[in-house]
Amino acid sequence: MADTRKTPIIQISGLKRLSIKKKILQCIQALGGTYLGGSIYRDCTTHLIVRRACASEKFLAASAAGKWILPPEYVLDSGRHGRWLNEQSYQWHSSVLKDWSPRELQILNSAKCWRQKLASSKMPGAFQGWKVVLLTEDDEHRQMFERVLKAGNAIVYQQISASNEITHVFKKKVEVDKEHMKALNVPCYSVSYIGEYLYGKEIAESRAHMLDSDEENCLDLSQCSTVNSQIDILTDFDMGDEECSKLENTLKDEVCAPEALKSKYVPTLIDCFITDVPQGQSINSGFSQGTIHRIEYLLADALFTEALEELRYCLSAGGLPPAPLIHSLMKHALEGDAGPLFSPMFMGILLEILHHNPPWRVPLRVSYFLDILQCPDCKKGTLSLLEMAIRFCIDGGPFCHHTPGPVQPGLTEFLVELLRYFLRLIEYDLHDLNSNNSGDWKGANPTVLVKVFWSVWEKSKLTTNPIERLTEFVVIATKWLNASKEAAKIELVYILHSILGVVVEYWIRENLNWDLTEKGVKDLAEYLVMLCEDFSFMDLETLITYQQSPWLNMFTADAIYRKFCLQNSIAFHPEPLSLFKIVSSYVTALGRLSSSGPSRARNPGGKKMGPWPGIEPHTPEFTPSDDSQSPANVLPNLPAFKKSIGDSKPLPAHMNIPKGLHKVNMVGETLLHRACKRNQVERLIGALHVPGVDINVKDHAGWTPLHEACNHGSIECVHAILQHCPDVDLLTQVDGVSPLHDALSVGELDIAKLLLRQGGAVLLQQRDKSGRTPLDYVHSQPLKEELLDIVREGNSPRDDQGDKLLDGTFLEMCSCLLSCLIMNYLVVYNLPMHGSFESSEEVNSQLARFVAVHTFEKVTSMWKESRLIRHAKDIETLLKMSEYYQQVPNVLKKGCGIHSEILLAYLQILAFQSEQLNKNQG
């Protein structure tokens, strides 16, 4: 069998004798290995050759990365045998270690433990999950520490920021703003902690050049609560790992189980569910031809009440009227020629049919309801009937077919009831799915809801054309509602939001996949928010408060809030939503938002570029004039409409998918990359309006569309990306080159200003592989000062403190979003809301105890499931909510309206529950 071992890539450390080093190099060359010289550690290294254990950069980095650390004999013996030998037999046997000190033995054993731990768990590094800021005046030492941390897979940031969720701050001979650190709840360590974490506390006393020997900077374990309970790597390692592994497996069955995705939607229109209805595959008509002819004769003689009474009598006997008869009755109801009592009686008959014949995955019943719920003349399907009903209710739009006479009074009420009936019908589908724990859509018995909103090949998508059209109708109706609040309009908007909520919750329950659910609902929420670009505060509040699906409500509130923050130069890293992110980053950002208002973000020309152009600071509540109440003045503002709502194709936005959207060329460039390189802003925006499009997609070299736009001077494309994409990653780098590096390297100062207004000072601190910051590309001092002024404006004390309220309406809107976000997050992710663990109580209590005693990082260090790691972080956040409550901006505590008071009450309740949870763990 051929040898499949990879050729070693070797570095050497601490080998002083040139003769030995020369022999080693000769052996490496003879065996076809690779030798990397120099004094710095290289990530591609596979083997480190050392004479003795030490605390050098290479030794620390190799330990953190789990690389082989071997004596020179390994290479020399391999050279004598003519092949690379097995490393296991050269792991420092007793003849080599006889004159080693206990400290050296401890370092070596720890390095061995780390290699075995990382190899067995496939964890990328010893510092996995660390998010670090290095504070040191010596740039050379800072780069050295950074290489060691990155070798262990830590993420190193250039400054302390609440939005970065920093876990460790390391300092060396530099003053630290202790008050700022305390406010961010960020633990601060001496750099000696790096060695202590890898090799044990005793190594911190070493005077090796890599570690900090300054006594005043040594770690004080008694004052650092996050390290007090750290499990010693050498003495308690295996036991801790075993317990954490068992806990992970238990949590998988509870937290990640498909049952945890059970719908949170509460049906409101179903009075009671019939459980004793026969579930046979056939349906009994119970209507003889004589009965059908008798009813038809009564209708022909305009005896409508008598015809309906005859029909009701047959229903009570267990019959089911044929679809043509229902179509005949519906035609009379739609044309309004049967009197005011006919429509309510007819709807009562439809409800009775549903009550006695629920379509619980019985194919014939499903087909029956799809057959009767369509236009009796056009017969284009259920979706066509629903669209016609919605259009007519909103602005009196025309029917799908010609009507013989004028529209009769009461038709709007009948169509609203018809939409309510459809909602009741699909609520039956959702109830059946939740109650019977049905499998996926692989079965042969689909439902009414599936047949209407999904085709056979779209079952894993939440952004199908029917759902997109429904979403657009929801947006239109929401804006139309605030133009003139009437009871019928309120009812219609509620029904449309409920239908969309049932569709979302049904799709989640059918797929039972956490990753798919989060991506699908987030894409739909982003699409919904994109349609709301001209919404006022009042419209946005209505949109949020009427949404019925907790999942959709959560991601919609998240998307709107991130857009507000992006508009005001507050950027968050594109990490998954978590409770920690909400209470530490989002709530903290509320101070800056309330101190600036929505007018902060401006383009180079000075015009507002916010995602909602109609929002003005100090704007009173929207009160429409008489002219504005007309739907004609409201609906055309929606960018999704290319035609008027009365056209035969009212919602063609989903049809305008740019050509070549999914085409990738030989170098990995998507349509987004190509549009940004050529400054084709309309093509770019068209692509961004398609749900699921990833603005952070990378080509084969790692470049994103934003990189390309900055490098090619496509300022309109940069502007569009920053306006429409709150998830855009401003910090992404290729060989250290960030979008800001790209812009300044080609002299695009206007693009650089746009980026700095959105990303702030952290963008200026990024370094490329040559160690240059973006400002190093600017040779004019006045231009440097101009760029720095933008950063200083964004980081003004007024913004950070959030004590001065400039826009109470804006604060109320943001508070409304955060209230919905917090409460729905707790519901969606099954987190305790009453000071105790209501679901999965035992396993969550055990997790809380582990996190409280051993820290979140230690408990999850070996875990691979991102969903479980986030759940553990959420539990830690709940345990620390009393601390996070202290970071709440003062402007929120002062309060200015009902939404800010509600948000503050939620945070106070969580802080109180935090104390209760800690007591329970104690």
Residue 256: pLDDT over 50: yes
Distance of alpha carbon 9 from alpha carbon 25, whole angstroms: 12
Model pLDDT, residue 240: 52
Secondary structure of residue 186 in the 3-state scheme: coil
Phi first, then psi: what are they for 719, rounded to 5°? -60, -45
Model pLDDT, residue 553: 94
Residue 593: pLDDT over 60: yes
Q: What is the separation, in whole angstroms, between the first and last Cα of the chain?
A: 59
635 confidence band (pLDDT: 50, 70, 90): very low
The angle at the Cα of 861, spanning 860 to 864, to the nearest 5 degrees, equals 75
Residue 821: pLDDT over 90: yes
Rounded (10°) CA dihedral 52, 54, 58, 60: 130
Domains 9-120 and 131-236 agree in fold: yes
pLDDT tens, residue by residue, 158-167: 766 655 678 8
Lowest mean pLDDT among 79-93, 812-826, 899-913: 79-93
Superfamily of chain region 9-120: BRCT domain (3.40.50.10190)
- The amino acid occupying position 553 is N
Q: Where are the domains of the chain?
A: 9-120, 131-236, 292-575, 662-797
User: Of 277, 813, 826, nearest to 565 (Cα)?
Assistant: 813
- Output the average pLDDT for the chain: 75
Mean pLDDT of 437-458: 71
862 confidence band (pLDDT: 50, 70, 90): confident
560 confidence band (pLDDT: 50, 70, 90): very high
- The amino acid occupying position 45 is T
Token pair of 168 as six digits? 């460790």
What is the CB neighbour count within 10 angstroms for residue 577?
Answer: 20
Model pLDDT, residue 269: 56
Sign for the CA dihedral angle at 576, 581, 587, 592 comes to: negative
Distance of alpha carbon 441 from alpha carbon 446, whole angstroms: 7
What is the CB neighbour count within 10 angstroms for residue 414?
Answer: 20
Token pair of 284 as six digits? 């009994």
Residue 642: pLDDT over 50: no
What is the CB neighbour count within 10 angstroms for residue 124?
Answer: 12
For 334-374, the three-class secondary structure string (H helix, E strand, C coil) is HHCCCCCCHHHHHHHHHHHHHHHCCCCCCHHHHHHHHHHCC
Buried b / exposed e over 238-251, threshold 16 CB at 10 Å, is eebbeebeebbeeb
Q: Higher confidence at residue 920 or residue 894?
A: 894
DSSP states along 170-197: EEES----HHHHHHHT--EEETHHHHHH
Sign for the CA dihedral angle at 212, 216, 221, 227 comes to: negative
Options 3.40.50.2300, 3.40.50.10190, 1.10.3720.10, 3.30.70.360; CATH for 131-236 is 3.40.50.10190
Cβ neighbors of 557 (< 8 A, separation 6 or more) are 544, 817, 818, 820, 821, 824
pLDDT tens, residue by residue, 525-553: 988 988 887 788 888 988 998 999 999 99
User: For the purposes of burial, counting CB atoms within 10 Å of the CB of 17, is it exposed (0-12), middle (13-18) or buried (19 or more)?
Assistant: exposed
Distance of alpha carbon 574 from alpha carbon 695, whole angstroms: 11
Instruction: For 662-797, give the CATH class.
Output: mainly alpha
DSSP annotation of 454: -
Model pLDDT, residue 419: 92
Mean pLDDT of 811-836: 84
502 confidence band (pLDDT: 50, 70, 90): very high
What is the CB neighbour count within 10 angstroms for residue 599?
Answer: 17
Q: Kind and range of the H or E element at 13? A: strand 9-13
pLDDT tens, residue by residue, 696-711: 888 888 899 999 999 9
Distance of alpha carbon 25 from alpha carbon 72, whole angstroms: 11
DSSP states along 209-223: TTS---GGGS--GGG
Model pLDDT, residue 641: 32
Distance of alpha carbon 368 from alpha carbon 883, whole angstroms: 58
pLDDT tens, residue by residue, 17-49: 778 888 888 898 888 888 888 778 888 889 998
Cβ neighbors of 288 (< 8 A, separation 6 or more) are none
From its phi and psi, is residue 813 left (phi > 0), alpha (psi between -120 and 50) or beta?
Answer: alpha
Phi first, then psi: what are they for 202, rounded to 5°? -60, -30
User: Of 692, 682, 678, nearest to 658 (Cα)?
Assistant: 682
For 85-127, the three-class secondary structure string (H helix, E strand, C coil) is CCHHHHCCCHHHHCCCCHHHHHHHHHHHHHHHHHHHHCCCCCC
From its phi and psi, is residue 747 left (phi > 0), alpha (psi between -120 and 50) or beta?
Answer: left
Distance of alpha carbon 900 from alpha carbon 907, whole angstroms: 11
DSSP annotation of 162: G
User: Of 363, 488, 500, 321, nearest to 427 (Cα)?
Assistant: 500
Model pLDDT, residue 834: 57
